Amino acid sequence: MKDIGFVVVGAGNLGTNLSLALQNAGWNPLLVINRSSDKGNELASRLNCDFSAELKIPQQKCVVFLCTPDDSLSGLVAELNLTQNIIVHCSGSTSMDIFKGKFKNYGVFYPLQSFTRGIEPEWTKIPLLIEASDEYTFGVLEKIAGTLSRKLYRLDSENRLKCHLSAVFAANFSNHLVYIAENLLKDSGLPSDILYPLLNETIDKLENHGAYLAQTGPARRNDRITMEKHLKILEEDPSLQKLYIFVSDQISKLYKT
């Protein structure tokens, strides 16, 4: 067992995944704090540690991980009792400054990943973006992070937010495009899994060449005839048509010779 204990606030997907990974890496779970006792007790029993519904951090030497939704963090910090311990949040879009003035040693421990209940991610590959109030705290957080992942980055709040935004474009928005694609396929009587080999090939190509070189399709070739055919299909859905034109124009401009 390693010498630093941890407290996890929030027993959702992130809190569950992170605390189980920390325990696996040899860190000592001290306490699960969660508003609802069902989820909180469940996680505490998996970690074999205490559970509390009360937002009170023990004075024992530990790192406190706030794993609650982004919009709850400021309120949570206001409610927390003072502690000499290190306190971190795990949010990509929240500044480290929410801790400023109240705590001495604080930071951010942001895994660039989306967690799903019941699916254990490959932690060694997950980028961990670390920020800290001081070198001592950096040292502790990087020591912990290094036992989970091989990919650690120091990043300030402003750049972390940019990184979070890039993940929204690349992952959240792409997912929505696949949603649109699935609906078009439904219209053609085709199952949506027909797209998966192409998606996997797209990702492989991206990873090997970067997105600029990996780009293909009618907009890339500025193939007006095909684009006109596509727009005709979208005639009954002006908002999709608008999206199609907008993205195609951006791509065409980018590759204009």
Footprint on residues 132-151 left by a second copy (CB under 8 A): 151
Q: Which is nearer to a second copy, 39 or 205 (CB)?
A: 205
Q: How far apart are CA 214 and CA 122, in angstroms?
A: 26
User: Mind giving me the DSSP string for 200-241?
Assistant: HHHHHHHHHHHHHHH--SHHHHT-HHHHHHHHHHGGG-HHHH
Q: What is the CA radius of gyration of the chain?
A: 23
Residues in contact with a second copy, shown as a per-residue x/- string from 66 to 105 under the rule CB under 8 A: ---xxx---------------------x------------
Place of tokens 């630093």: 4
Interacting residue with a second copy among 64, 90, 112, 144 (CB under 8 A): 112
Written as six digits, the tokens of 234 are 């979208």
Written as six digits, the tokens of 113 are 């990943």
Q: Which is nearer to a second copy, 55 or 170 (CB)?
A: 170
Q: Which is nearer to a second copy, 140 or 167 (CB)?
A: 167
Interacting residue with a second copy among 36, 45, 59, 114 (CB under 8 A): 114
Q: Is 251 exposed, middle or buried (0-12, 13-18, 19+ CB in 10 A)?
A: middle
Q: Is 79 exposed, middle or buried (0-12, 13-18, 19+ CB in 10 A)?
A: exposed
Alpha helices in the chain (DSSP H): 13-24, 37-47, 73-79, 135-148, 157-167, 174-187, 196-214, 218-221, 224-233, 238-255
- Is position 121 an interface residue for a second copy (rule: CB under 8 A)? yes
Considering only residues 189 through 228, tell me which ones interact with a second copy, judged by CB under 8 A: 189-190, 192-203, 205-207, 210-212, 214-221, 223, 225-226
- The residue range among 1-9, 19-27, 116-124, 138-146 that interacts with a second copy, by the rule CB under 8 A, is 116-124
Q: Which is nearer to a second copy, 139 or 210 (CB)?
A: 210
Q: Which is nearer to a second copy, 134 or 193 (CB)?
A: 193
Q: How far apart are CA 246 and CA 173, in angstroms?
A: 14
Written as six digits, the tokens of 8 are 């996890």
The nearest distance, CB 245 to a second copy, in angstroms, is 11
- Number of chain residues interacting with a second copy (CB under 8 A): 88
Written as six digits, the tokens of 212 are 């600029």
Considering only residues 153 through 192, tell me which ones interact with a second copy, judged by CB under 8 A: 153, 155, 159-182, 184-185, 187-190, 192
Considering only residues 5 through 64, tell me which ones interact with a second copy, judged by CB under 8 A: none
* Side chain identity at residue 249, one-letter code: D
- The residue range among 33-41, 81-89, 98-106, 111-119 that interacts with a second copy, by the rule CB under 8 A, is 111-119
